[in-house]
Structure 1
Amino acid sequence: MDYFIIAALTFAAIYFHWWLYVRFKRWGDRDLALSMAGDDADKKNYMLEQLALAQEQKLKGAELQARLERAAADYHAD
């Protein structure tokens, strides 16, 4: 029974740390996209859409940042 408790708590701790890692990564990616938008509300929405598209393509790290930088440079306010 002791091994079961230890295994269950270990699994819960590992899952919790993984969950935190994923959340922090998502928050960081979102902050990156929003930081490139400045104070323009329309550009913020555009950058969040571009972030969603990049995430669908499973871009990560430097590829994600480069994609968002290109999107920010290509943005034209209507």
Structure 2
Amino acid sequence: MNLDYVVVGVVSLLALAMHVVLFVLVRRWMDRDLALSMAGDDPVRRAWMLERLAQAKREGVRRRDLQAWLERAAAEAPAGGQGV
């Protein structure tokens, strides 16, 4: 009977760990998509915006401030080669 509790506990902990990992991955994907959506189709701007996203993470920009921070960065983005 005691083994049943151990199995339930282990499975519950694994399920919680899986949910935490999925939560973190989805947040990263959302942040990356936000940065790329501001860059458009230009590969130069996309690379530049991904670097700005990494910079925001290094500087510790809070998630609720990230969109405004990226919008300011997008306004300073270099012009790419496709907009001729």
CA deviation profile, 1:21-65 (whole Å, cap 9, x unmatched): 001000000000000000111000000000011112222323111
Q: Gapped runs of 5+ residues in structure 2?
A: none
What TM-score results when the alignment is normalised by the length of structure 1?
0.92
What TM-score results when the alignment is normalised by the length of structure 2?
0.86
Aligned residue identity for 1:66:
A
Q: Gapped runs of 5+ residues in structure 1?
A: none
Asked if residue 24 in structure 1 is aligned to residue 26 in structure 2, the reply is yes
| Corresponding pairs, count | 78
Aligned residue identity for 2:79:
A
Where has structure 1 moved over 6 Å in runs of 4 or more?
none
The corresponding residue for 1:53 is: 55
Q: CA RMSD in A?
A: 1.2
The corresponding residue for 2:5 is: 3
Distance 1:50 1:4 in 2: 46
Distance 1:57 1:72 in 2: 17
